[in-house]
Amino acid sequence: MARIDRHQNRVWLAELEVEELSEMLDDSFSIIRQIPRLTSLNSIQHEARSLAAFQSVLDPKAPEIRMCFISAARAIAGLYHCAQKEEGTVEVELGDGGAPVVFEATGINALTHDGTWQTGFHLAAILRDRELMDLLCTFTTDQLRQAPGVTSEPFFYPFVEALRGYWAGDPNTAMYLAEAMELTEPERLVMANPDAVLHRAVPWMEVFFRLLEHDQKAFNDALVKALELHKAYWGSETADRADDIEGILALELCSMAALAYEQDIEIQVESDYIPGWLVRGEVAQQD
């Protein structure tokens, strides 16, 4: 069993963030029940994911991580439920245990872009939330492109098609993934830092490709390599990003490992970037 230790995080900072984010999340739930706004849903999903990350620094097995992921997933589900229709109202269940909140339907909006979609997909995979996965996959990439005021890298859209295809059993899934990988070449990028794409997007696509092949050894080799590159990027001593929530928990790689686990692929690497209890679906079983 390989082991990839997480890069050094500042525990004192994580303690402060957990305290502040817990209060912020409580406030956001209170505010959204008084004034239902999509921006508040977006705040909840970001605050909840941030709280989960910093909580994992203090305790990678903390059950609060599960509740935070559920809160984030439900907030994202709310955004896409509101985007499903142009008129009327939508009831949204939040992650605070209270009654559903009624929102105005909006149609596609600035928050239902490909980035939010992918975050929702990864949370759904980890949580084994089939309802959220089905909801997300009703949205086409053409619809995601309509999100106003949002410009994304071209490779994001075929990658979303590949993720949608995986869930739907589309035989063209590998073709979409190959197209996405071609668009990660430095000369094809529009805005993204090539180093970030090389260390983050490309390895995660390679892991996904091995998942499609259902090759246990190749999948684990790719996963180890991706985790090593993740650590090198986020733990770099020359960059101030060691305590970024995207680096503390490798959400994308965790979701790929979770999908692989559900396909009876044995995960042969341990890392706090992808806590084993999340990968194994225990996140969906603890009550």
- pLDDT tens readout for residues 242-261: 999 999 999 999 999 999 99
Q: What is the pLDDT of residue 238?
A: 76
- What DSSP element (H or E) covers 238? none
| Residue 285: predicted pLDDT | 47
Q: In this model, does residue 286 exceed pLDDT 80?
A: no
Question: Does residue 287 surpass a pLDDT of 60?
Answer: no
- For 195-233, write each residue's pLDDT tens digit: 999 999 999 999 999 999 999 999 999 999 999 999 999
**101 DSSP 8-state letter:** E
Round to whole Å and give the CA distance between 73 and 121. Answer: 9
Q: Is the pTM of this model over 0.75?
A: yes
Average pLDDT estimate for 25-44: 96
pLDDT at 67: 94
The tens digit of pLDDT for each residue in 127-136 reads 999 999 999 9
Is 70 exceeded by the pLDDT of residue 283? no
3-state secondary structure 172-222: CHHHHHHHHHHCCCHHHCCCCCHHHHHHHHHHHHHHHHHHHHCCHHHHHHH
Q: What pLDDT was estimated at residue 237?
A: 81
Dist. CA 127–CA 247, nearest whole Å: 20
pLDDT digits 0-9 by tens, 117-173: 999 999 999 999 999 999 999 999 999 999 999 989 999 999 999 999 999 999 999
**DSSP code of residue 249:** S
